[in-house]
Amino acid sequence: MLTLVGTVHRDSQGEKRLDCLLAQLSPRVITLELSEESLRFRRDRGKMHLRKLERILESIAADRGISVAQLEEHPAVAQIRQLLGYPFEYRAASTYARCHNVPLLLIDRSDVAMRKVAQIERELITLRNLKTLTALPVESSGEPGEGYEVARALLGAETAASLRHAFLAGKRGAEGIGPRDLFMATAIRRYLGTSPEQHLLHIGGWVHLVEDDIAGETLFSRLADLLPQRLLLDRAM
C-alpha cells in the first residue's frame, strides 16, 4: 500500500496536522522529500547561520532606528529562519518513526541540496540581501503562495488538463519536477519491491503529486501503476 501526502512547506499548522495524520494512518515505512545533505547542513551549520542572521538584523535595525523585533515580524525573516531549521515534515516524521520503531528514509537528491546550500551561504544571508528583503512591503496572506486551495484544484479529477499542463511547464527542471521525481520514485519502488505488504507513506511537496499526462515526470505519474492514494495535509485534522 502506498500513500502520497502533499504538503505546503511553510504550513504553520503543518507539524500538528502531520502528527494527526501519521497517528491515523499508522504507516510501517516513511519516506521524506529531504536529502541527507540538507539534514546535515541544518544540524551542523544551521545555528551558525542563525547567529549570522541575528548580527545582520541588529545592524539593519540600528541603521533604520527601529528594533530587531520589528524586523523579525517581516515574513522574509521568518522564512529564512524556517529554512535554517528542521522542516516540520522531518520533525513530525522523525518523532513518529522513533516512537513506533519504523524506518524513516530521506530520499531526495543530495546534489540538488548542495546547490541550494551554496546559494544560502553565498547569497541569502548577506547584509545586502536582507536590507532588500526587509524593505519590501509585507503582503497579507493567510496561506503561503501556491497553497492547499491551488493544490486541490490541480489535483482534482475535474480540472482541465490544459491548466495542469500550463502549471507543470513552469515547474520542470533539475530542481523541480523531473530528475528529482525519478530519484524518489526509484527509492520508493526499491523499498516496496522488498516489502510489498508494508504500508509506505511518502511526505513531500504537493507539486510532485500532480498528474503529468504529457511527460509522466511527476512522482505521482511515475508511481501511478502502484495505485497510490493521494492526500493533502490540510484535511488531516
236: confidence class by pLDDT, cuts 50, 70, 90: low
Whether 185 has a pLDDT exceeding 50, the answer reads yes
Judge whether 54 and 62 are in contact, CB under 8 Å. Answer: no
pLDDT at 118: 80
| Cell numbers that stand for 198 in this block | 508494508
* Mean pLDDT confidence for 162-169: 91
Question: Tens digit of pLDDT for each residue in 98-134?
Answer: 999 999 999 999 888 788 888 888 888 999 999 999 9
Cβ contact 179:109 at 8 Å: yes
Q: Over pLDDT 70: what percentage of the chain?
A: 96
Higher-confidence residue: 120 or 4? 4
pLDDT reading at 231 higher than 50: yes
Are 17 and 237 in contact by the 8 Å Cβ rule? The answer is yes
Give how far Cα 102 sits from Cα of 21, 68, 105, 201, Å. 15, 42, 10, 11
Strand partners, 172: 177
Domain boundaries, the chain: 2-235
CA angle (102, 106, 110) in 5-degree steps: 165
Average pLDDT along the chain = 90
The beta-strand segments (E) located in the chain are 2-7, 29-32, 104-106, 200-205, 229-232
Is residue 216 pLDDT above 70, yes or no?
Answer: yes
pLDDT at 197 over 80: yes
Condensed to tens digits (0 to 9), the pLDDT of residues 147-159 reads 899 999 999 878 8
Cell reading at 81: 529562519
Mean pLDDT, range 11-31, rounded to an integer: 95
pLDDT of residue 55: 96
| 198-210 pLDDT tens trace | 999 999 999 999 9
Assess whether pLDDT exceeds 70 at residue 218. yes
Q: Does residue 146 surpass a pLDDT of 80? A: no
Q: Which band of pLDDT confidence, cut at 50, 70 and 90, is reported for residue 142?
A: very low
